[in-house]
């Protein structure tokens, strides 16, 4: 979230402003191909939705974008260059500009919330302990968990774990934030609040968001760009703004997905 | 990495200057306010806010800011907190885009009252009382577990215990065939060590042949059982605790309960059966391997005739020792399985809890094995076997 005042205007949707570019990506487990020929661009400042039915490989795609699983073919480009062709040090440097919110928070259970958030800060910055403590309480306050510094993840609810996971993902002020199923397991109000939080953070941090979800309400509320993965043809069948997709789509499968099976 | 090493001198170093005019304190902020820079100290701002008469308003002029991150936000929060303490109104309009809204977002949910933990130590009596209550609870849990296991065993005898037969087969395999290699190695070496220790003393009297007696009685009477017990505590008992503990974390045990299965019958019973059946067999095998270890020392180092060594072992070790060893190992089987399963079933719901459960399963098993051995040895002494 390196916000520079003079780039406050929304970035123009051209190739130069690409935060992530995916070219010819093929995902496979062994010989079993899940998805092939994925080509899409995440622009700077986008809230980019990766959507599709269950088991279509949304989470696997996310794992390839964040360096957890190597693609079978194709490339993932960040602004610094190709993620999977970079040597490990360079790859880690690219990934340090990203933050990831895992599906159930993935907080380290042996550490308090404050320790969870300060871990990357103490490792990758030269901040003093006082500064780290201030940043930790700021991040927790941003996600509405002020005062919960000394709680262990097992002592707070699932929704709170998720928000604490978001605070940890934001610890290093990343440029790109990845969310894996942010609203899974949240009640409608909490899910809505999380959507609001994402919009608010995009507005003030000028960060880019990549969100894996099949929650239609979220998709239309926050997404301004997206890719739809079709489980039967094993490739992407649509991309673009989800609201325009709903208005213009002709593919019956996509329409069924976007209308909760009503059409 | 020190701060000085991290921050290279840069043209856009963060600066802050302050001007007081007509009761308005204006902070002029410029440069790059990021984590890789050393930020100016807060003291001048504090002094200006605490001056008499205090300024009425606090304003920001941030036209020169070239970049900011969370560190800038924490500085702003600190300054605003100071201003609020002094009753100075803050005008956030001059802050860079996004900063004001993030600050507002951070204030949106007030700090939960009473959420922050105090680190003060509880009084001595409080801690003692907690310890006492904790121990009573632990004894209660243990007795409850023993009761459930007994009921499950009764159900098993009456043929009404519900568990998967195929799982029992896997468990038996894991507790026997899979353990053979490590049991072989350790028992063989223990036999070898016992023989070495005895050989040095006995050869001074020309009584080398009694090495076979020492190794035979020691291995067959207790050492075979103890060594298998400790090996199985380390590999199988720990595995039970980790497995059941992870099932507890994943709510699998809750799922079993809601399906109407008794977790004790479904999970604990097959593990108990597997270990109680296999431990005596492993013990017999360990006895043999231990005698082989002694045999190697006797035959190759002490030059005892192989046939003579084996017949002497056979003649000088009373058969009662064999049965005593089997009783030991059966009891150890019960203890190791119980410790592993008990700790696993009472595991905390986190990765941390699984680690603690596994550790205490192994510690409890080994402790139980040693105590049980002591009791059995005294008991054998009293009844004269």
- pLDDT tens-digit series, residues B99-111: 888 888 888 877 7
One digit per residue, the tens of pLDDT, for chain A of length 263 reads 444 444 434 444 444 578 999 999 999 888 888 888 899 999 998 999 999 888 888 888 998 898 888 898 999 999 888 988 988 888 888 888 889 898 888 888 878 999 999 988 888 888 888 889 999 999 999 888 888 989 988 888 888 888 899 999 988 888 999 998 888 878 888 888 888 888 888 888 888 999 998 888 889 989 999 999 988 888 888 888 988 888 888 888 888 888 887 77
Contacts with A169 from chain B: Cβ below 8 Å: none
Closest among B263, B241, B266, B233 to B333, alpha carbons compared: B233
- pLDDT score for A1: 44
Confidence (pLDDT) at B104: 84
Asked if B106's CB is within 8 angstroms of A138's CB, the reply is yes
Residue B97 pLDDT greater than 90, yes or no? no
Q: What are the angstrom distances between the C-alpha of B87 and each of A7, B81, B233?
A: 35, 10, 66
What chain A residue is nearest to B64 in terms of C-alpha separation? A5
How far CA B359 is from CA of A6, A182, B108, B131, in Å, comes to: 56, 35, 44, 20
A134 touches chain B (CB under 8 A): yes
Query: What is the arithmetic mean of pLDDT over B8-30?
Result: 79
Place of tokens 């050492």: B223
* Band (B113; pLDDT cuts 50, 70, 90): low
CA distance A71 to A25: 7
Average pLDDT across chain B, whole number? 88
Beta carbons within 8 Å of B12's beta carbon, 6+ residues apart: B31, B32, B66, B67
Which structural domains are found in chain B, ordered by start?
A: 10-106 (3.30.750.24), 163-383 (no CATH)
Radius of gyration of chain B (CA): 36
pLDDT at B120: 65
- Which of A110, A173, A205 is facing B98, going by the closest CB pair? A205
Nearest to A253 by CA among A245, B217, B250, B10: A245
- Is residue A5 less than 8 Å (CB to CB) from chain B? yes
Share of chain B above pLDDT 70, in %: 95
Q: Which residue of B has its CA nearest to A142?
A: B106
- Chain B hits for A113, CB-CB cut-off 8 Å, are none
Nearest to A5 among B65, B102, B109 (CB): B65
Parallel/antiparallel/unpaired status of strands A32-43 and A47-52: unpaired
Q: Is pLDDT above 80 for B237?
A: yes
Residue B140 has pLDDT above 50, yes or no: yes
Instruction: Give the residue-averaged pLDDT of B348-358.
Output: 89
Asked if A115 has any chain B CB less than 8 Å from its own CB, the reply is no
In percent, the amount of chain A with pLDDT more than 70 equals 94
The verdict on domain A44-66+97-258 having CATH code 3.40.120.10 is no
Radius of gyration, alpha carbons of chain A: 18
Indicate whether B332 pLDDT > 90: yes
B197 contacts B185 by C-beta, under 8 angstroms = no
**Searching chain A, which residue's CA lies closest to the CA of residue B65?**
A5
Chain B CB within 8 Å of residue A70 CB:
no
Residue B308 confidence (pLDDT): 94
State the helix-helix crossing angle for B224-232 and B180-203, rounded to 10 degrees. 140
Give the confidence band of B363 by pLDDT, cuts at 50, 70, 90: very high
Domain ranges of chain A: 44-66+97-258
Structure tokens at A248: 């213009």
Average pLDDT, integer, range B128-136: 91
Closest B-chain CA to A110: B352
- pLDDT above 60 (res B238): yes
| ipTM, interface predicted TM-score of the complex | 0.71
Is some CB atom of chain B closer than 8 A to the CB atom of A114?
no
Residue of B6, B69, B355 with shortest CB distance to A173 = B69
Smallest CA–CA distance, residue B136 to chain A, in Å, is: 24
Measured distance CA(B317)–CA(B280) in Å, rounded: 19
- CB contacts, 8 Å: B36 with chain A: 125-126
> Is the CB of residue A148 less than 8 Å away from at least one CB of chain B?
yes
Chain B residues with CB under 8 Å of A110 CB are 350-352, 355
- Residues from chain B that touch A205, judged by Cβ atoms under 8 A, are 98, 102
């Amino acid at each position: 979230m390196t916000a520079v005042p003079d780039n406050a205007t929304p970035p123009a949707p051209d190739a130069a402003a690409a935060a992530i570019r995916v070219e010819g990506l093929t995902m496979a487990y062994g010989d079993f191909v899940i998805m092939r020929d994925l080509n899409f661009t995440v622009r700077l400042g986008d809230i980019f939705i990766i959507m599709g039915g269950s088991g279509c490989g949304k989470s696997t795609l996310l794992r390839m974008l964040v360096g957890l699983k190597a693609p079978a073919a194709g490339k993932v480009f960040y602004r610094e260059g190709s993620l999977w062709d970079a040597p490990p040090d360079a790859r880690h440097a690219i990934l340090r500009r990203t933050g990831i919110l895992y599906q159930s928070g993935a907080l380290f259970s042996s550490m308090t919330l404050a320790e969870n958030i300060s871990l990357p800060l103490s490792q990758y910055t030269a901040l003093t302990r006082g500064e780290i403590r201030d940043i930790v309480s700021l991040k927790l306050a941003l996600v509405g968990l002020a005062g919960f510094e000394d709680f262990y993840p097992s002592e707070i609810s699932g929704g709170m774990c998720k928000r604490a996971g978001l605070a940890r993902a934001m610890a290093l002020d990343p440029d790109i934030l990845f969310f894996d199923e942010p609203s899974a397991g949240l009640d409608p109000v909490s899910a809505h609040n999380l959507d609001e939080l994402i919009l608010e953070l995009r507005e003030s941090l000028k960060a880019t968001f990549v969100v894996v979800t099949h929650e239609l309400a979220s998709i239309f509320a926050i997404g301004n760009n997206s890719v739809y993965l079709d489980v039967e043809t094993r490739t992407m069948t649509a991309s673009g703004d989800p609201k325009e997709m709903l208005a213009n789509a002709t593919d019956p499968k996509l329409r069924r997905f976007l209308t909760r099976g009503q059409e | 990495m020190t701060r000085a090493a991290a921050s290279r001198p840069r043209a856009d170093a963060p600066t802050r200057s302050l001007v007081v005019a007509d009761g308005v304190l204006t902070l002029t902020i410029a440069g790059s306010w990021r984590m890789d820079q050393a930020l100016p100290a807060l003291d001048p701002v504090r002094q200006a806010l605490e001056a008499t008469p205090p300024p009425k308003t606090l304003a920001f002029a941030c036209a020169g800011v070239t970049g900011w991150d969370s560190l800038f936000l924490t500085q702003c929060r600190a300054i605003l907190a100071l201003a609020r303490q002094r009753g100075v109104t803050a005008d956030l309009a001059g802050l860079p885009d996004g900063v004001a809204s993030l600050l507002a977002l951070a204030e949106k949910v007030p700090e939960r009252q009473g959420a922050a933990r105090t680190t003060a130590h509880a009084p001595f009596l409080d801690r003692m009382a907690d310890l006492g209550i904790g121990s009573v609870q632990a004894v209660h849990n243990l007795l409850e577990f023993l009761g459930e296991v007994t009921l499950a065993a009764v159900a098993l005898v009456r043929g009404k215990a519900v568990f998967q037969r195929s799982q029992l087969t896997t468990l038996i395999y894991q507790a026997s065939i899979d353990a053979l290699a490590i049991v072989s190695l350790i028992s063989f070496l223990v036999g070898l060590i016992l023989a070495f220790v005895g050989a040095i003393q006995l050869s001074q009297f020309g009584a080398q042949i009694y090495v076979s007696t020492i190794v035979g009685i020691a291995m067959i009477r207790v050492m075979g059982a103890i060594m298998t017990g400790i090996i199985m505590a380390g590999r199988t008992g720990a595995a039970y605790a980790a497995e059941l503990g992870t099932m507890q974390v994943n709510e699998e045990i809750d799922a079993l309960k809601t399906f109407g299965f008794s977790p004790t019958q479904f999970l604990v019973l097959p593990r108990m059966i597997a270990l109680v059946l296999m431990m005596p067999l492993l013990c017999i095998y360990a006895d043999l391997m231990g005698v082989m270890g002694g045999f190697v020392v006797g035959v190759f180092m002490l030059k005892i005739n192989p046939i003579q060594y084996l017949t002497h072992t056979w003649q000088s070790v009373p058969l009662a020792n064999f049965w005593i060893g089997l009783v030991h190992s059966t009891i150890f089987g019960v203890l190791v399985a119980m410790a592993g399963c008990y700790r696993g079933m009472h595991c905390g719901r986190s990765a941390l809890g699984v680690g603690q459960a596994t550790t205490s399963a192994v510690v409890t098993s080994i402790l139980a094995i040693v105590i049980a051995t002591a009791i059995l040895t005294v008991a054998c002494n009293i009844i004269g076997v």
